[in-house]
Chain A
């Protein structure tokens, strides 16, 4: 469960590669049947991926989003949490 106080890190089960303003995420797998998809994060997704460093809380990431993009705190919070749920399998969550 991702909460605003959660501290996030990149999972070791994904290879991430920055390409220009974006990221490519390739999940590692031990079975060919699970080799399903790779993922591309656009500029906004890449900004959040970069902010995930094992130190910042979700709240801190949301504040960075507001500072970087033309969005208010409510929208940034909603969208960031939604995005984090989508990439849940590529991050590890530490809840204090």
Chain B
């Protein structure tokens, strides 16, 4: 009898060979559904052995690694072979007597699994085949798998990604204690649907019901001495997320697909670095930061400027590096109609309900209306022009280490090394 599973909205139909009964592991039970939908993947499962075609080529070798990601515990463990468009994943059991083969074409719906075992019943998705089948299934659509925990805060999916030991499980536990639903604390699928990006749990490691939420924010986490969320964008955000994704980079196609998907999610969902204290203050910090309080803060900020007060903000990004760095406190001064800012000066813009501090590179008159063209010092990309009404104030000074400093002129890169032309993000060690 066939079994249908729905994992992150993907329907997998497991069809046993004649005389074989499929008994998936317990962690899949809550993902089983009635078999009346159109499957994304049909996995035909048999206990037969499979012989690698003589022309197939080994493209990827994944020995069983220790948790440090460096020490080989056992080899062979699983390998990827290529035969034309076919991908053949070969998994060797501990005693090497059982060798399973997953034979797929990612563009096709019907895949084959040869378990190479005996008996009239079998678990069709034992470790590591479970993760491998899910990985290739996810790559069929605009989706990716990531090492992360996630919670569902009033319908908003908050994802926390980091290397082993960075605090994924700790954060999940903190939110669980605060009464927030935990989607999963280790392995997630991020998937694009018609109305946005969603984060889904996976049946990996523990028995649980399927959970999901619309993705609202992604954080790259690390332990710290205080709770601080600093936005990251562009290539930096893509690199940080990709480093934590489950991936096989043995040919051009898969990493290209993965980068494109991460690039897309980064353009649509905010990404930040989060240093955190592992106690309940983290939940309070994020509840306040992500809530109505933030909107109210911007309104209060603008109201104070309109009343003629100088207002201090806290810089979070690197777009004005090196003039302003994260943690600096730019002092925003109200606009003076008789002394409006000009080219080379730095202004605070209201954009998407937040403040952006960038430098004016040109001022234009358009139908009698003044428009500003700005750019972050660290960027060569020019911002969309903004009207005067979107300028909150001018920034001529900032506070750093308790001292007021004047904002310097834009510094062009004088040397590559000073700019750290090359930066590196380490891959998360993964073992599926």
Contact = CB atoms under 8 A, between A and B. Distances in A.
Nearest to A17: B259
A71 B416 CA distance: 10
Given A32-B62, A33-B63, A69-B413, A40 B249 contact: no
B409 to A, nearest CB: 12
A83 B422 contact: yes
A19 B419 contact: no
A39 to B, nearest CB: 6
A38 interface: yes
B340 interface: no
Interface secondary structure of A, over-half rule: mixed
Contacts of A83: 416-417, 421-422
Contact of A28 (B69, B242, B249): B249
Contacts, number: 140
A28 B250 CA distance: 5
Contacts of A29: 60, 249-250
Contacts of A80: 416
A23 B234 CA distance: 10
A82 B72 CA distance: 34
Q: Which of A30, A32, A70 has the most CB of B within 10 A?
A: A32
Given A26-B242, A83-B416, A37 B249 contact: no
Contacts of B215: none
A40 B426 contact: no
A36 B259 CA distance: 17
B414 A69 contact: yes
Contacts of B263: 17, 19
A11 B45 CA distance: 40
A28 B247 CA distance: 11
Given A38-B242, A39-B423, A31 B252 contact: no
Given A33-B70, A39-B424, A87-B422, A28 B416 contact: no
A2 interface: no
A46 to B, nearest CB: 9
A24 B260 CA distance: 11
Given A20-B381, A45-B421, A28 B414 contact: no
A53 interface: no
A24 B413 contact: no
Interface in A19-73: 19-24, 26-33, 35-45, 48, 69-71
B65 A19 contact: no
Contacts of B65: 32-33
Given A21-B379, A28-B252, A37-B427, A70 B413 contact: yes
A72 to B, nearest CB: 9
A48 B421 CA distance: 10
Contact of B238 (A19, A28, A36, A41): A19
Contacts of A21: 234-235, 379-381
A35 B422 contact: no
A33 B66 CA distance: 11
Contacts of B380: 21, 43
Nearest to B240: A40
A43 to B, nearest CB: 6
B250 A22 contact: no
Contact of A24 (B235, B379, B416, B426): B235
B33 interface: no
Contacts of A31: 60-62
Given A19-B235, A19-B238, A36-B427, A27 B417 contact: no
A68 B361 CA distance: 18
Interface in B58-100: 58-63, 65, 69-70, 72
A26 B72 CA distance: 23
Contact of B413 (A27, A43, A82): A43
Given A17-B256, A32-B65, A40-B422, A79 B417 contact: yes
Contacts of A20: 234-235, 379, 381
Contacts of A3: none
Given A19-B234, A45-B416, A24 B421 contact: no
Across the A-B interface, give the 8 residue pairs with the lowest CB-CB distance, nearest first.
A45-B421, A22-B235, A19-B235, A70-B412, A79-B416, A32-B62, A20-B234, A26-B255
Interface of B: 58-63, 65, 69-70, 72, 234-236, 238-239, 242-243, 247, 249-252, 255-256, 259-260, 263, 378-381, 412-417, 419-427, 430-431
